[in-house]
A and B are shown apart, each in its own frame.
Chain A
Amino acid sequence: MLSASGQDRSPSIRAVGRALPPHYASQEQLIAAFREMWATRHFNLERLEDLHRAVRVGGRHLALPLEAYPPLLTFQQRNDAWIRSATELGETVVRQALDAAELTPGEVDHVFFVTVTGIATPSIDARLANRMRFREDFKRTPLFGLGCVAGAAGVARAADYLRGFPEHTAVVIAVELCSLTLQREDLSIPNIIASGLFGDGAACAVLRGAAAPGARGPRVVASRSVFYPDTERIMGWDVVDSGFKVVLSAKVPGLVKDHIRGNVDGFLAQHGLKRGDIRHWVAHTGGPKVLEAFEEALELAPSALERSWASLREVGNLSSASVLFVLGETLESVRAQPGEWGVMMAMGPGFGAEMVLLRW
C-alpha cells in the first residue's frame, strides 16, 4: 500500500470541462450524407449502413455544419478549419474548467495540449494564451500523435510534472475534431468504420499539485504506461497528400483482451490493490468491441462502464477527449466517498495503454 507521504505528493484533479461543437447530426443523417459517396464504389450499401449502426453511436457533434464539409477538398482547407474550430472549442473548454476549479488563466503554470486530428505551429496552446492571457512564463507541452490514449497519458504526464512542482497548476486540454480528418475519397472499409465511430469534442482537466491551496477532487496516486512492441499497423494515420488516412485493424479488441487484465493487475499490485478494490472505472470509449473486451478481461460488473457506454452512444469516440468526458461525468455524477479508488485507462496508437490510479 502506498505510504501516507506518497499520497501527500499526489496532485489532485480539480475539475474537468467538456464541450461539443454545435452542429449535431444523427447517425441516420450521417449515413444519408455518406450514401451517395459510398455508391460510387460499393454495391451493397446496406452492408455499409449496418457497419455504421454496429458501432452503437446515436450521432455526432460536428465542428462544421454537414454542408460545409464537401467544399473542403485539400489538407490545407481542412486543417485551416481545424485550427479555427480547435481554438474556439479549446477556449470554451478551458474557461469552463477553470471556472469550475475557481481558478483564473493567470494561475495556470503548465498547459499540456493533446490532439491527433490537426497540426498547428504555433500550437493551439499558444493561440489560447493570446486569447486568455496566460502568464508570460507559463510552460507549454503540445503532444501530437498519441491518439486515443492521450487524454489519460496527458493527465499522467501533468501529474508527473506536478510531483516536481507541487505548488503549480496544470491544465490538460484535449481537442479532437475527427470529422475534419475524414478522407471522403477513401472508400476502404476501415475508413467507413472510422467515419461511423469518431466524433468531435474537447475536454480540459485542471490538476493542482499537492502543495497548492484548496485541494479537492480525486488524487492521481500513480500512473503506468504500457507499450506493445511491433504493433505499429494496429492503429494510426498514413499521412498522405490529402491529410490523415486512417489505419485501423480489427485486432484492437483482441489486443485489449490479451493484455489489459495483466496490465491492470500488475499496476494495481504495485500499490497493494486488486481489481475488487476499484470502485470507479473510467474507460476510454474505443468502440463497442473495445468496451466489451474491457468488461470481459477485467471481469467487471455490468454497470461498471455505464458512463463509457453512455458517452459512446451520445457522442461517439472523441479520441483523446473521450476518457476525459467519462472522467468529468464521474467527478460530477458519482458520489464518491473519501478513500475510494478509481482507474482511468485508455489505449491508442503505438500500440499502447495508459493507466491512471485515482483516489478520492
Chain B
Amino acid sequence: MAERELEVMTEIHRIVTEELEWKGAVEPSQDLVRDLQLDSLGLTVLAVGLENRFRIRLSEEDAQGVRTVGDLAKLVAQRVAAPVEPIPEEALP
C-alpha cells in the first residue's frame, strides 16, 4: 500500500473510532456499510472528515465505486495526488 493510502487509512481509523464510536478493527477489506455498520450519517461524517483533513472534495459519483475501506483510501489518495482543477474563470459563461 502506498504511503499516501496508509496516511488515509490512519485518518479513516481515527474518524470511525473517535467520531463514530466504532469499537472494532478497521481493515482495508472491510465493507463500509456491512462491516463498519456505517449509515448515511456515518458515511457523511467520514466523507466530511476526509475532505477536511486532505482538502479534497468527494462527490456522489465518487461513492459509486467505493465499497470497502481500501476502496475509499485509494480514492482519497488518488484525489490528493491529482486534485480536480477548478474551472478557470474565463471558461465560465
A: which residues have CB within 8 A of B?
41-44, 46-48, 51, 188-190, 193, 248-251, 254
Contact = CB atoms under 8 A, between A and B. Distances in A.
Most-contacted residue by chain A among B19, B41, B45, B56 (CB, 10 A): B41
Judged by DSSP, the binding face of B is helix
B55 interface: yes
Contacts of A189: 41, 44-45, 48
A46 B84 CA distance: 15
A41 B52 contact: yes
Interface of B: 19, 39-42, 44-45, 47-48, 51-52, 55-58
B48 A47 contact: yes
A189 B48 CA distance: 8
Given A47-B44, A251-B39, 6 more contacts: A42-B52, A44-B52, A47-B47, A188-B19, A190-B41, A248-B41
Nearest to A46: B57
29 contacts: A42-B51, A42-B52, A43-B51, A43-B52, A43-B55, A43-B56, A43-B57, A44-B48, A44-B52, A44-B57, A44-B58, A46-B57, A47-B47, A47-B48, A47-B51, A47-B57, A51-B44, A188-B19, A188-B45, A189-B41, A189-B45, A190-B41, A193-B41, A249-B39, A249-B41, A250-B39, A250-B41, A251-B39, A254-B39
Contacts, number: 39
Contacts of B45: 188-189
A190 B42 CA distance: 10
Contacts of A48: 48
A41 B55 CA distance: 11
A251 B20 CA distance: 13
A189 B51 CA distance: 13
A193 B41 CA distance: 10
- Of all A-B residue pairs in the complex, the 5 with the closest CB atoms, nearest first, are A250-B41, A250-B39, A44-B51, A189-B45, A43-B51
A52 to B, nearest CB: 13
Contacts of A47: 44, 47-48, 51, 57
A193 B42 CA distance: 13
Contacts of B48: 42, 44, 47-48, 189
Given A44-B57, A47-B47, A250 B42 contact: yes
A40 to B, nearest CB: 11
B61 to A, nearest CB: 14
